Amino acid sequence: MAEIKAGDEINTGWWPESVRVVENTDQNNITSTAFTAGSPECSTTFVAPLSGRVAVIVGAEMRNEDTGNNRVFVTFEIRLGSVAGAVVQAAVNARGVSTTGDAQASQFMTHGNMSMVETLTPRATYFIRAMHHVDAGTLNDIGHRRICVVPLP
């Protein structure tokens, strides 16, 4: 991994384009307590910059109609190359967003979070997708999911 320092000349090949994906299909009455990608998946590929670091922004519209204070979580996972590739960054709640757990009736709330991912192999292709799960219950919904990947120095 090359280090970019102040004053270095930046080569455009070091900076692949940012990518984003939005999936608007509702994911209703989610029951899985294990991470799942949903159907259809909210996924895309990106190329790691020379620094091996990217900012991942994940967002979702979510609601909790469950009176049991059960939350829904939306985050991301990164795999090398494709959906069949090795997991590079596993889906974890701390890198995503969630509902508060309070029953919110029919109101969707929009949440977003940014997380830096490091130690990617420069110029390698990665597959990223949104993942979600619930604490418990059956009345958690996602209105839509979105991911943006931005190269970092």
In the chain, where the domains are located: 36-152
- Hey, is 123 helix, strand or coil? coil
- Dihedral of alpha carbons 63, 116, 20, 126, sign: negative
| Beta pairing partners, 114 | 57
Whether pLDDT at 10 is above 90:
no
Percentage of the chain lying above the pLDDT 90 cut: 62
Q: Read out DSSP for 4-62?
A: P-TTPPPPGGGSPPPEEEEE---EEEE--SS-B--SS--EEEEE--TTSEEEEEEEEEE
pLDDT at 143: 86
**110 vs 39: which has the higher pLDDT:** 39
pLDDT at 68: 67
pLDDT at 13: 64
pLDDT digits 0-9 by tens, 50-89:
999 999 999 999 988 766 677 889 999 999 999 999 999 9
Are the CB atoms for 4 and 105 separated by under 8 Å? no
> Model pTM?
0.87
pLDDT digits 0-9 by tens, 88-133:
999 999 999 988 766 655 677 888 999 999 999 999 999 999 999 9
pLDDT at 69: 72
Both tokens of 128, joined, read 């990223």
Q: How far apart are CA 69 and CA 60, in angstroms?
A: 19
Domain 36-152 has CATH 2.60.120: yes
| Beta pairing partners, 147 | 21, 58
